[in-house]
């Protein structure tokens, strides 16, 4: 797998996505902390053959808490990693066992402490709400512990159970039950109240940051900047077209070894580009700019957006200032429905 990934790095560079100096580098989309320091070093060496780094390049590793021992953290520092995203999920051991996580709540706390000891100050932690039988009191306790760690970035995700996942099958047998919509709203409101009180900026539906600590990698995605994705199921984007790699380890490796195409590609229509802009921008603090729509699409799209947005402005689900449209607090709770209503399907090329 590592050999195939290194070869794809070279192949993707030949495709030329336009930028030779990386603004961000993100090891994620799975559990990259299963790799040893030597294996990560080999990947970094392969990347540096083709791409440059500056002192400002944000280099992130997604990691499980139990992987972050002193030797591993020291190795990450040597390789130039300067940001960690730690998948804590919960500070209750029974929640972690239910999610089949390999770490304990005690290991979660120690991982943040150790990361700081080794000089990591740009740290994100992931936590989850909407877990089965999660009470408001338990969610408040989880948040209290998360905020007590005083990390500069917090990502909070509502549990979504996919039909074909292990949890989906368990739910089909009656073993797992989702929380009610009322409970989800209550927990989301609590999340907003408690993070706001601690001076976190709610800059995207699921993301909260201290001043100066927005995830530059995620912001680049949400602002639709070009990016290159490497590895099975990875996505890449050049501003107009998107490609996605084979979602199968064996087939991915075979394609790379045989120098055959390991991905599919689609060129986005005007409708799809508009819909993506609305989707990612409305979920973010910077919102949808009607002047951007006029400049990058045409008046038909601008007129459609204004018509669809009017009702949400009237009922307080959206705000508008100087042509920029953002979600209000209650609008954030209905973000998916609102975005869906703002999508258009003119079938334009």
Domains of the chain by start residue, with CATH: 19-222 (3.30.750.200), 270-342 (1.10.10.920)
pLDDT at res. 177 = 65
> In this predicted model, what pLDDT tens digit does every residue of 197-239 receive, in sequence order?
999 999 999 999 999 999 999 999 999 999 999 999 999 999 8
Instruction: Let me know: does 73 contact 120? Beta carbons within 8 Å.
Output: yes
Residue 60, class by beta-carbon neighbours within 10 Å (0-12 exposed, 13-18 middle, 19+ buried)?
Answer: buried
Angle 147-144-121 from CA coordinates, rounded to 5°: 20
The pTM (predicted TM-score) of the whole model is 0.93
The model's confidence at residue 346, banded by pLDDT at 50, 70 and 90, is: confident
| Alpha-helical regions (H) of 103-247 | 105-117, 136-148, 166-172, 181-197, 216-222
Which is more confidently placed, 1 or 18?
A: 1
Instruction: Let me know: does 178 contact 130? Beta carbons within 8 Å.
Output: yes
Starting from the edge strand earliest in sequence, which strands make up the sheet with 123-129, in order? Answer: 24-27, 58-63, 83-89, 123-129, 153-158, 207-209, 201-204
Distance between CA atoms of residues 141 and 139, nearest Å = 5
Distance between CA atoms of residues 140 and 142, nearest Å = 5
Contacts of 231 (CB under 8 A, 6+ apart): 5, 8, 29, 245, 252
pLDDT at res. 30 = 78
> In this predicted model, what pLDDT tens digit does every residue of 303-330 receive, in sequence order?
999 999 999 999 999 999 999 999 999 9
CA atoms 160, 163, 167, 170: torsion sign: positive
The model's confidence at residue 179, banded by pLDDT at 50, 70 and 90, is: confident
pLDDT at res. 72 = 98
Kindly state the average pLDDT of the residues 152-178: 78
> In this predicted model, what pLDDT tens digit does every residue of 247-298 receive, in sequence order?
999 999 999 999 888 999 999 999 999 999 999 999 999 999 999 999 999 8
Q: What element of type H or E holds 126?
A: strand 123-129
pLDDT at res. 20 = 77
Beta bridge partners of 320: 325
| Total Cβ atoms within 10 A of residue 82 | 18
> In this predicted model, what pLDDT tens digit does every residue of 40-94 receive, in sequence order?
999 999 999 989 999 999 999 999 999 999 999 999 999 999 999 999 999 999 9
Token pair of 17, please? Answer: 């996505």
Q: What element of type H or E holds 288?
A: strand 288-289
> In this predicted model, what pLDDT tens digit does every residue of 8-51 receive, in sequence order?
998 887 665 555 789 999 999 878 999 999 999 999 999 999 89
pLDDT at res. 332 = 96
The model's confidence at residue 164, banded by pLDDT at 50, 70 and 90, is: low
């Amino acid at each position: 797998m590592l050999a195939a990934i290194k070869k794809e790095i070279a192949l993707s560079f030949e495709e030329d996505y336009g930028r030779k100096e990386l603004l961000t580098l993100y090891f994620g989309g799975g559990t990259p902390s299963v790799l040893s320091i030597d294996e990560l070093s080999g990947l970094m060496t392969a990347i540096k053959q083709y791409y440059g780094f500056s002192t400002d390049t944000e280099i992130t590793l997604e990691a499980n808490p139990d992987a972050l021992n002193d030797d591993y953290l020291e190795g990450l520092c040597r390789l130039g990693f300067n940001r960690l995203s730690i998948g804590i999920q919960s500070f209750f051991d029974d929640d972690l066992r239910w999610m089949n996580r390999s770490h304990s709540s005690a290991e979660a706390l120690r991982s943040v402490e150790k990361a700081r000891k080794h000089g990591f100050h740009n740290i994100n932690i992931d936590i989850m709400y909407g877990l089965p039988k999660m009470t408001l009191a338990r969610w408040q306790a989880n948040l209290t512990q998360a905020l007590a760690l005083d990390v500069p970035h917090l990502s909070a995700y509502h549990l979504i159970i996919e039909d074909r996942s292990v949890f989906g099958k368990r739910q089909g047998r009656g073993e797992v039950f989702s929380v009610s919509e009322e409970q989800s709203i209550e927990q989301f409101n609590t999340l907003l109240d408690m993070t706001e009180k601690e001076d976190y900026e709610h800059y995207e539906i699921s993301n909260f940051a201290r001043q100066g600590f927005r995830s530059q990698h995620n912001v680049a995605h949400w602002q639709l900047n070009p990016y290159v994705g490497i590895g099975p199921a990875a996505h890449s984007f050049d501003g107009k077209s998107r490609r996605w790699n084979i979602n199968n380890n064996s087939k991915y490796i075979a394609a790379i070894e045989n120098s055959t195409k390991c991905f599919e590609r689609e060129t986005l229509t005007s409708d799809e580009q508009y819909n993506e802009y609305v989707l990612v921008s409305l979920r973010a603090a910077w919102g949808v700019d009607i002047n951007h729509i006029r400049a990058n699409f045409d008046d038909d799209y601008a007129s459609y957006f204004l018509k669809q947005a009017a009702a949400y402005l009237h009922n307080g689900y959206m705000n508008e200032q100087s042509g920029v449209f953002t979600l209000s607090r209650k609008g954030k709770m209905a973000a998916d429905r609102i975005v869906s209503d703002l999508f258009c399907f003119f079938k334009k090329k």
